[in-house]
Amino acid sequence: MPTKRRLRTIWRIPDDLWAKLHPLLPPEKPPGTPGRPVVPFRKVLDGILYVLRTGCQWKALPREYGSGSTCHRRFQEWVQAGVFAHLWATMLEHYDDLRGIQWRWQALDSVMVKAPLGGRKTGPNPTDRGKLGTKRHTLTDQRGAPLAVVVTAANCHDMRAATQTLDSVIVKRPRPCATTPQHLCLDKGYDYPEIEAAALARRYTPHIRRRGETIPKRKRHPARRWVVERTGSWHNRFRKLLIRFEKRVENYLGLVHLACCLIIYRLTVLG
């Protein structure tokens, strides 16, 4: 009996992913140039991926990836240049070419993340005794590919961040019509008239779990919202995202964007 195909955990940037990332980086210092030798960018990116996967401190990065401070400096330079956001959009377009983005059914949800060091877009977590935290809001397609990610303080209500997330899709969203509608699945935390109106204004067909609503024994439609919860779990498998130690929200978002690239890469390869 055939078994489901699985990929090993990615610890180094695959060749095909590097081929798409390399043109987005600034030119490397050519060999033989006077001055200190530069760590190859691919080795730096492998080091960034190691930190993202393990959640270790930059200074604890194994020497095989070069200096931890060098990797951190390059990472911040690339974040400021928008490299990881651009790579995310590039990977999503590649995924669309090979498998097709499943716009028909989309789902939106948020995940709470501890942020013990504070920083911008952190706030008291109402579910964690008021300790500092951050909230990741994610929109996915029907397979769970991340289409948009927004980071807010933990005490920011989902109602306030929902419209911002819907407007932050990283690639151009096709216009829904009668033959190709776009459904939006939301849990009862989004059961507000303002969110339903915002979804309708963006030509979504909203499916919101109502407060106090009982689940019928025979459902008219299969469950659709679970894919965004699975994507949140995939994000948390990158230990650097599980707890936010980055005071600069741009750095945390850069790590989230790189994780989105790897999630989409796996969805593309497993297709």
Task: Return the pLDDT at 224.
Answer: 85
Task: Return the pLDDT at 159.
Answer: 87
Alpha-carbon span 200 to 54, nearest angstrom: 41
Sign of CA dihedral 82, 86, 87, 92: positive
Query: How confident is the model over 32-53, as pLDDT tens digits?
Result: 677 777 889 999 999 999 999 9
Please calculate the CA angle 206-211-217 and round it to the nearest 5 degrees: 80
Instruction: For residue 41, give every residue at least 6 positions away whose Cβ sits within 8 Å of its Cβ, in sequence order, or none.
Output: 22, 25, 28, 74
Task: Return the pLDDT at 238.
Answer: 97
Task: Return the pLDDT at 218.
Answer: 60
Residue 168: HSE in the Cβ half-sphere, 13 Å Cα cutoff: 19
Give the pair of three-digit tokens for residue 42. Answer: 């691919």
Query: How confident is the model over 166-218, as pLDDT tens digits?
Result: 999 999 999 999 999 999 999 998 999 999 999 999 999 999 987 766 666 66
Task: Return the pLDDT at 221.
Answer: 66
- Identify the residue whose tokens are 């989309």: 106
**Within the chain, which residues score under 50 in pLDDT?**
1-2
Task: Return the pLDDT at 1.
Answer: 42
Alpha-carbon span 246 to 169, nearest angstrom: 24
